[in-house]
Structure 1
Amino acid sequence: MDKIKTLLTLNSLSKNTLMETLDIEFIEVGEDYIVAKMPVNSGVHQPYGILHGGATAALAETVGSCASALFVDTKTKIVKGIELSINHLKSKKEGVVFGIAKPIHKGRTTHLWEIKIVDEEDNLISICKLTNIILDKK
């Protein structure tokens, strides 16, 4: 896998999407993980001035879905998230958060990912599980 090409491709797919709106950027791809970052600012705050759980969930689903896409033939298969569970453990007012997706299960038709949302000091902000279904393109 050409990691630089993969990152460029993933980031180019974000144009005109929620990922672009939230300024999510893929920054690292490994053999069994993928990492993206998202700035924490007023654009992703809830009314109390802290990171909105929905923005955190969007980061988690983005990273986990893209991770599944790296392990299937996207010419013939499509990845869809079917369940996301997330526990918010710590609040964040400003800075950056990182979504790190690692596989729990990679089957033929379903993938299960653990996504940790951490800050710049590696503090755990949220922990997530994402189940994706792998379908044939029609």
Structure 2
Amino acid sequence: MNKTEILKAFNERSKNTLMETLDIEYVNVGDDFLTAKMPVNTRVHQPYGQLHGGATAALAESVGSAASNFFIDHKNQFINGIQLSINHIKGKREGTVFATAKNIHKGRTTHLWEVTIVDENNQLISVAKMTNIVLDIHKK
């Protein structure tokens, strides 16, 4: 698959999910990264008009989980996130945030990702680490 096909496939899989609800869109992919974007508006605000940390965490987990899919056998395996740690550095009221997942560890059963979230001006908003487990699909 080429880059355009990969992004299209990830975005198609987001239909009728939390990713669609939050308007998360996968926008770039490379050999060692995956990037998604999310608009910052009232749909993802907390009561004080700032980007909700939970929405940021959902963005980080979405891109970190999706990125692990590059390293598994889709016919026999699937990914589950088992740990997410996130630090919120700066608030954001409007605009767009971009989350980029880069692999730190690619093991046989676990993957560790660093997810950096920046805004449209490349200002650091949050940093996350995510651990995924690779599970076997048990056929009945």
What TM-score do the two structures reach when normalised by structure 2? 0.97
1:9 aligns with 2:20: no
Corresponding residue for residue 51 of structure 1: 51
Deviation at 1:3, TM superposition (A): 1.0
Deviation at 1:12, TM superposition (A): 0.1
Q: What is the distance in 2 between the residues matched to 1:41 and 1:67?
A: 26
1:87-106 alignment runs, 5 A limit: 87-106=87-106
Deviation at 1:31, TM superposition (A): 0.2
Structure 1 unaligned regions, length at least 5: none
Corresponding residue for residue 19 of structure 2: 19
Deviation at 1:23, TM superposition (A): 0.1
SS at match of 2:5: helix
Q: What is the distance in 1 between the residues matched to 2:114 and 2:133?
A: 15
Q: What is the distance in 2 between the residues matched to 1:75 and 1:38?
A: 30
SS at match of 1:100: strand
Corresponding residue for residue 74 of structure 1: 74
Deviation at 1:26, TM superposition (A): 0.2
Structure 2 unaligned regions, length at least 5: none
Corresponding residue for residue 137 of structure 1: 137
Q: What is the distance in 1 between the residues matched to 2:124 and 2:60?
A: 13
Q: What is the distance in 2 between the residues matched to 1:108 and 1:3?
A: 25
Q: CA RMSD in A?
A: 0.6
Q: What is the distance in 2 between the residues matched to 1:91 and 1:74?
A: 37
Deviation at 1:53, TM superposition (A): 0.2
Q: What is the distance in 2 between the residues matched to 1:137 and 1:99?
A: 29
Runs of 4+ in 1 over 4 A off after TM superposition: none
Deviation at 1:75, TM superposition (A): 1.3
CA deviation profile, 1:46-92 (whole Å, cap 9, x unmatched): 00000000000000000000000111111111100000000000000
What TM-score do the two structures reach when normalised by structure 1? 0.99
Q: What is the distance in 2 between the residues matched to 1:71 and 1:121?
A: 31
